[in-house]
Amino acid sequence: MTDGILRTIPVHRSLTRPQLLMGCERFPFLMLCMVVTLLAGPGGLMTGNFINILIAGALFFTGRALLARMAKGDPSMSGVFGRSVKYRAEYPAISTVRFRNVPKARRW
């Protein structure tokens, strides 16, 4: 064994890079595609309502732009936001760690 030399193993970028679709997170983008498809397909083309097709197109392009901007900031932002909402009662608004009288979160 060699002394003083650390063994390095290359970690390829494709193993650590987040999986994105068109620059957006997977789940929110697939939900957006589902909503747009349902709005344009059965509500637009099959019934002859072409306003729904225009609304679906506008919704797709604006929604994709917003999701891509969100993923550029943090590729797992929807999961982080979901956990922050889930554990909101666990984050008391206190100034120090040694605060004794921690108020209990109210359940409405």
Secondary structure class of 20 (helix, strand, coil): strand
Which spans in 41-102 are helix H?
Answer: 50-73, 77-86
Q: What is the dihedral of CA 39, 43, 49, 50, to 10 degrees?
A: 30
With 60 as the cut, is the pLDDT of residue 1 above it? no
Q: Is residue 35 part of a domain?
A: yes
Q: What is the pLDDT of residue 46?
A: 77
Q: Is 25 in contact with 78 (CB distance < 8 Å)?
A: yes
Question: Is 0.75 topped by the overall pTM?
Answer: no
Question: Residue 32: which domain range?
Answer: 21-74
Q: Is residue 36 part of a domain?
A: yes
Q: Is residue 88 part of a domain?
A: no
Domain count, the chain: 1
Specify the pairing of strand 24-25 against strand 20-21: antiparallel
Q: Is residue 33 part of a domain?
A: yes
With 70 as the cut, is the pLDDT of residue 104 above it? no
